[in-house]
Structure 1
Amino acid sequence: MTIYRNPSKKSAVKILVAASLLLFVSACDDDDEGLMPEPEPMLYRYQVTVANLTNAQPLSPFAVVLHNEGMLWNIGESANDAMENLAESGDNSQVLGLGVALAGVSGEDIIMPGSSETIEISLADAMPTYLSGATMLVNTNDAFTGINGLNISQMALNESISMVMGSYDAGTEKNSELAETIPGPAAGGEGYNADRDDVDFIAAHPGVVTMDDGLAQSVLTQAHRFDNPTIRVTVTRIE
């Protein structure tokens, strides 16, 4: 004959305690999920102030990018398509869209001689290694200036780096100074042209000649001449 026994009181108590513990742990987990939200992403934010130091060379909207590798340009090498477009027309959209760019921001407008603009750019979760920026001197064929691969990885909060920069010749368009080849207000001519008819390497810009200095075909005057430096840039980490 088989005898069925009820669990002892001691066993029943153990079962009840175990069940209570499971419910308590589950409730704690639910509470933890409600009380511990996901942490906010770390934000790295910078201000870039660009001042135009020239007499009569407006600057195209300044392009700022954050990146961990690469350079916008290299002296002695051929300009990439993005920099050619910027240096000939002032269009910075391709620079902002470069594959190495982790973030990119354009200035709002042309920076006139004697004026400045402050641009903010930020990146979440990872501190960027480099900050670069570029702009065209628009009363030229293909002159540009900017900062190239500034290392900002060790910048402390509220720290600033200030520098003055000279100008470069993209080497993609002859410095003819013809009205039809200069897009700025001095001429209102053509901007970007895919054909490269110059030395095809980037170098320090020699400056413009102008009609006042004997270049009869030039649409420029002595007012458009520029010496280095042409811009002052101040980078500040603000977050």
Structure 2
Amino acid sequence: MTDKSFSTTRRTVLGLTGAGALTALAGCLGGVTALQADGNGNGNQSARTYRVTVANLTSSQPFTPPVVVAHQPSVELFSVGDPANDAIKELAENGNLAPLGELAESLNEVRGAAIAETPLVPTELPGSDMFPSWTTLELETDASGAYLSFVSMLIGTNDGFTGLDTVPLPDQVNESRSYFAASFDAGTETNTEMYADMVPPAQGLYGIDSGTEGTGTSNPDLAEDGVITPHGGIVGDGDLDVEVYGWDDPVALVQVERMA
């Protein structure tokens, strides 16, 4: 099973999950979270604030810090059956959040965004000593940004992620909505299920030292020219034991409430 003697630190895990890109992402999203004026130049009159809680429902799959985005209906971060864009590829393979921030910044249709400060780790894993299994974010938008998308990497996979694509935000003050999110395979990297091909925190959060460091960059030799599909789960072909790393859908619960 797991060897809890392997030591890791909060700084190490955050740095290697691409959360070293958190600063860059925050910079990219800085201009997004500032509400833009409506047609009459009264941006604040249509301002809306939402409380978004994201919970990891698995017993074995840590998430990278979740990102939530408020946007107009024309925005599509990902779609099952379509190839993953570069932002989803980098998130799903490497836990790299920076391209997602750049994408959000480039789209006027994105009206607000928020990112968690830490990974979400199931209480059954050693990494839960440092990180929570759920988090609450404050998301600011305007009336035109009436839809929510959410994404987060499944850290113990090659290119797995979870997310919601363009679901309605609550319209009335104090109204709340709950959504369950499934797991997806980005279709961009072969599922070797080998530690050497996964982000380094995959070992630390499980309390394992395999003797290999893992990688936070894409390997062209493992590139897979596929499309986004529902994830088939862990099959046990490599280093990963199905009983330890497997999961059932849904993997995440997202609750959204419009605040006064």
TM-score, with length taken from structure 1:
0.75
Closer, same or farther: CA 234–222 of 1 in aligned 2, 3 Å:
same
Aligned to 1:191: 216
Provide the rounded CA distance (Å) in 2 between the counterparts of 1:134 and 1:80.
Answer: 13
1:138-177 residue pairs with structure 2 within 5 A?
Answer: 138-152=155-169, 155-177=171-193
Closer, same or farther: CA 156–178 of 1 in aligned 2, 3 Å:
same
| Shift of residue 209, structure 1, vs aligned partner | 1.5
Which runs of 5 or more structure 1 residues have no equivalent in the other structure? 1-37
In the alignment, structure 1 residue 116 sits paired with structure 2 residue 142 = no
Two-structure CA RMSD over aligned residues (Å): 2.1
Aligned to 1:20: none
Provide the rounded CA distance (Å) in 2 between the counterparts of 1:70 and 1:109.
Answer: 26
Closer, same or farther: CA 218–65 of 1 in aligned 2, 3 Å:
same
The amino acid of 1:111's aligned partner reads L
Provide the rounded CA distance (Å) in 2 between the counterparts of 1:162 and 1:62.
Answer: 16
Provide the rounded CA distance (Å) in 1 between the counterparts of 2:241 and 2:115.
Answer: 28
2:87 to 82, 87, 94: 82
Report the 3-state secondary structure (helix = DSSP H, G, I; strand = E; otherwise coil) of the residue aligned with 2:99. helix
Provide the rounded CA distance (Å) in 1 between the counterparts of 2:42 and 2:193.
Answer: 56
2:252 to 220, 228, 231: 231
Closer, same or farther: CA 157–173 of 1 in aligned 2, 3 Å:
same
2:61 to 41, 57, 60: 57
| Shift of residue 175, structure 1, vs aligned partner | 0.6
Greater displacement, 108-117 / 181-190: 181-190
Provide the rounded CA distance (Å) in 1 between the counterparts of 2:217 and 2:229.
Answer: 19
The amino acid of 2:113's aligned partner reads G
1:105 to 114, 117, 132: 114
**Percentage of matched positions with identical amino acids:** 33
Tell me if the contact between 1:97 and 1:104 (Cα under 8 Å) persists in the aligned partners.
Answer: no
Aligned to 1:3: none
| Shift of residue 194, structure 1, vs aligned partner | 6.6
Aligned to 2:149: 132
| Shift of residue 219, structure 1, vs aligned partner | 4.0
Q: Which has the higher contact order (CA 8 A, sep 6+)?
A: 2
| Shift of residue 220, structure 1, vs aligned partner | 4.4
How many pairs were matched up? Answer: 195
Closer, same or farther: CA 66–97 of 1 in aligned 2, 3 Å:
farther
Provide the rounded CA distance (Å) in 1 between the counterparts of 2:244 and 2:168.
Answer: 35
The amino acid of 1:64's aligned partner reads V
Tell me if the contact between 1:159 and 1:236 (Cα under 8 Å) persists in the aligned partners.
Answer: yes
Closer, same or farther: CA 220–189 of 1 in aligned 2, 3 Å:
farther
Tell me if the contact between 1:60 and 1:136 (Cα under 8 Å) persists in the aligned partners.
Answer: yes
Tell me if the contact between 2:112 and 2:139 (Cα under 8 Å) persists in the aligned partners.
Answer: yes
Aligned to 1:41: 44
Tell me if the contact between 1:85 and 1:92 (Cα under 8 Å) persists in the aligned partners.
Answer: yes
TM-score, with length taken from structure 2:
0.69
| Shift of residue 222, structure 1, vs aligned partner | 1.8
Provide the rounded CA distance (Å) in 1 between the counterparts of 2:233 and 2:225.
Answer: 16
The amino acid of 1:165's aligned partner reads A
